[in-house]
Amino acid sequence: MNISSIIDLIISTSRSPILIRLVNRFAVNKNRIQRKRLIQAVTKHLLADYGREGMFGDLSVFEAKNLQLMHDNLLLRKLKSRAEGSVGGRHKRLINSINNIQQRTEKLKQLDGPDVIRFLSSLYLEDIAPDFDPVFLILFRSLAKRLFNNFVGSIRAVETETGTINELANLIGKEPVFFIANHVSNADHLPILFALNRAAIISPVVIGGSNLYHGISKKILPKINVCQIKRDDMIEKKIKWLGNPVYIETFKQHNQYMWIHNEPYLFYPEGGRSRNGKIMTPKVGIIKNIFEFVKTEHRQVHFIPLSISYTSVPEDLAIEESRKGINISYSDLIQELANLNREYGHIKDTAIHVNLGLPITVTPDNLPDLEEFSYELMNRVRDGIHPTSTYEVAQMILFYSDSLDTSEADRFSVNDLKNANPDYSTERLSSAIEIFTAKKFIAPAKEPDVHNLFNIINPDMLRQYANRTECEF
């Protein structure tokens, strides 16, 4: 049985009424938000907003309708082109997709005003709204522990201060809570969710980009509470999805419904994986929406700095390739986990640290400056990053290399690093050297009668690791 069939079996098993009752009674995670009710409530709110001439006017509705029709026509041309050279099951799937989009397009053409909002918001929410299934989460965790034991076994949940986890557990589900994390890998949300669940903390909604939805990921991500946002082009190289007024307002109202019902959230203010290793300048859009929620609903909220660090960074080579403009968002979640698990099986020290900070409370009577607050949040995230041996030793190597003449700057000896850092753990130094050698960032010098001398093969990769405890702002 292949992994796709196993996931289908888990989805089918998770519908068992007995398992649902048991999980809702005894498990940390329960069925909290009813998806059908959410879609109805958000659509109703959007229609009411249109009726009282709020965010939506006729011009916005007309714009959104035309953008969707243009998008669908472009998509139809691509699908028809692919169908021409296809055979068998692939051909049948493409024809079904073409027929569905043609029907959708014909229906949308006939609609106006509030009917357009009702149609588009329901369409968008089918993508945006997660279909969280706590039974699936438990079964998927059990599968992951078995199939990806090296990866799962490397996860460490760390408290900034004693009692932090207990304080978070008492807040979550009672008031709006937002985990704010640095973004290193496409797999970040999995160690975070494993760490939170291990600490008996409710799994938050995770805002994930549509670039994650490949292959089996499309089945898994909604079930583990990932909310999809499309940040890519809606109309090729002209208009992004976030430029569609109905799409962006649907996404915003979806989030606000969740927040009103005290659903915890996890998001990455950087908006994407860091390409140079440093924490990037935060994008303030969602934090701005949270501040608006605080004012309009007159409720306090809590921000939790969450810092993730890897001894061996997932996709480190691919991330460096992306700096050259190469697309690296092509593998699905299972592929990434399999690759990570294989690599982690060959390396002794692969700890992934998930550091949970104390809550920062924002109240309606004392709203801070948006930009200053966002920067301070990311500084708090940086301060909580666990300095892994690879982060520290990469910094040592580069500092030592930069201090030498150009002719010697591409090599170092372990003894030189020890002399320059006498208090540093010999075990941690050896572990990092072993990892960098395995990754071919460095290589032992081949000179006779010389021991512990290394050539620097890939300084850019060392720099990526060295930057992980810094902000670029």
- Number of separate domains in the chain: 3
Q: Give residues with Cβ within 8 angstroms of 115, minimum separation 6.
A: none
Q: What is the pLDDT of residue 1?
A: 66
Instruction: Please tell me whether residues 193 and 314 are part of one structural domain.
Output: yes
3-state secondary structure of 413: strand
Task: Look at the pTM and tell me if it is higher than 0.95.
Answer: no
Q: Which of 335, 358, 383 is the last residue of a domain?
A: 383
Q: Give residues with Cβ within 8 angstroms of 344, minimum separation 6.
A: 150, 151, 154, 312, 350
Residue 255 within any structural domain of the chain: no
List, in sequence order, every residue forming a beta bridge with 371; answer none if it has no partner: none
pLDDT band at 7 (very low <50, low <70, confident <90, very high): very high
Instruction: Please tell me whether residues 270 and 196 are part of one structural domain.
Output: yes
Position 23, amino acid: V
Residue 437 within any structural domain of the chain: yes
d(CA 406, CA 399): 13
Tokens of 25: 């009674």
d(CA 224, CA 193): 9
pLDDT band at 377 (very low <50, low <70, confident <90, very high): very high
pLDDT in tens, 200-212: 999 999 999 888 8
Q: Give residues with Cβ within 8 angstroms of 461, minimum separation 6.
A: 316, 317, 320, 439, 441
CA-wise closest residue to 244 among 124, 109, 164, 328: 124
The crossing angle, in degrees rounded to 10, of helices 285-297 and 370-383 is 120
Q: Which of 354, 383, 412 is the last residue of a domain?
A: 383
* Sign (positive or negative) of CA dihedral 46, 50, 55, 58: positive
d(CA 316, CA 185): 9
Instruction: Please tell me whether residues 363 and 403 are part of one structural domain.
Output: no
Instruction: Please tell me whether residues 58 and 97 are part of one structural domain.
Output: yes
d(CA 71, CA 64): 10
Q: Give residues with Cβ within 8 angstroms of 452, minimum separation 6.
A: 413, 414, 415
Q: What is the pLDDT of residue 8?
A: 95
Q: Which of 330, 359, 383 is the last residue of a domain?
A: 383
Residue 27 within any structural domain of the chain: no
Q: What is the pLDDT of residue 330?
A: 61
Instruction: Please tell me whether residues 379 and 423 are part of one structural domain.
Output: no
Query: What is the enclosing helix (H) or strand (E) of 66?
Result: helix 58-84
- The string of DSSP letters for 255-316 reads HHHHHHTT--EEE-TT-S--SSSSBPPPP-HHHHHHHHHHHHHT--EEEEEEEEEESS-TTH
CA-wise closest residue to 334 among 229, 224, 228, 230: 224
Instruction: Please tell me whether residues 52 and 135 are part of one structural domain.
Output: no
Is the separation of the CB atoms in 420 and 400 below 8 Å? yes
Q: What is the pLDDT of residue 277?
A: 95
Whether the predicted pLDDT of 184 surpasses 80: yes
d(CA 38, CA 418): 59
Mean pLDDT, the chain, integer: 93
Instruction: Please tell me whether residues 49 and 194 are part of one structural domain.
Output: no
C-alpha angle with apex 130: 128 to 159, nearest 5 degrees?
115
CA-wise closest residue to 160 among 32, 293, 17, 306: 306
d(CA 125, CA 116): 14
Whether the predicted pLDDT of 113 surpasses 70: yes
Q: What is the pLDDT of residue 215?
A: 85
Q: What is the pLDDT of residue 53?
A: 67
Q: Give residues with Cβ within 8 angstroms of 281, minimum separation 6.
A: 270, 472, 473
Only one residue has tokens 């701005």, namely 288
Residue 26 within any structural domain of the chain: no
Is the separation of the CB atoms in 301 and 294 below 8 Å? yes
Q: What is the pLDDT of residue 327?
A: 67
Please give the share of the chain, as a percent, with pLDDT higher than 70. Answer: 97
Segment 403-415 mean pLDDT: 84
d(CA 114, CA 107): 14
Whether the predicted pLDDT of 62 surpasses 80: yes
Segment 437-445 mean pLDDT: 95
Instruction: Please tell me whether residues 90 and 195 are part of one structural domain.
Output: no
3-state secondary structure of 124: helix
- Cα–Cα distances (Å) from 65 to 111, 138, 168, in that order, read 9, 40, 43
pLDDT band at 57 (very low <50, low <70, confident <90, very high): confident
Q: What is the pLDDT of residue 111?
A: 97
Residue 183 within any structural domain of the chain: yes
Residue 109 within any structural domain of the chain: yes
pLDDT in tens, 20-56: 999 999 999 999 999 999 999 999 999 998 877 666 6
Residue 217 within any structural domain of the chain: no
* Residue range(s) defining the domain that contains residue 58: 35-127
Whether the predicted pLDDT of 262 surpasses 70: yes
d(CA 142, CA 27): 14
Instruction: Please tell me whether residues 46 and 187 are part of one structural domain.
Output: no
d(CA 211, CA 232): 8
Q: How many helices (H) and strands (E) does the chain have?
A: 20, 13
The sheet with strand 411-413 has its strands ordered as 411-413, 453-456, 442-444
Instruction: Please tell me whether residues 141 and 102 are part of one structural domain.
Output: no
Can you give the CATH number for the domain in which 410 is found?
1.10.10.10
pLDDT in tens, 276-316: 999 999 999 999 999 999 999 999 999 999 999 999 998 89
Instruction: Please tell me whether residues 368 and 394 are part of one structural domain.
Output: no
Instruction: Please tell me whether residues 368 and 420 are part of one structural domain.
Output: no
Is the separation of the CB atoms in 127 and 213 below 8 Å? no
Position 169, amino acid: A
Q: What is the pLDDT of residue 151?
A: 93
Is the separation of the CB atoms in 101 and 123 below 8 Å? no
Whether the predicted pLDDT of 267 surpasses 90: yes
Segment 316-336 mean pLDDT: 77
List, in sequence order, every residue forming a beta bridge with 235; answer none if it has no partner: 239
Residue 364 within any structural domain of the chain: yes
d(CA 4, CA 263): 30
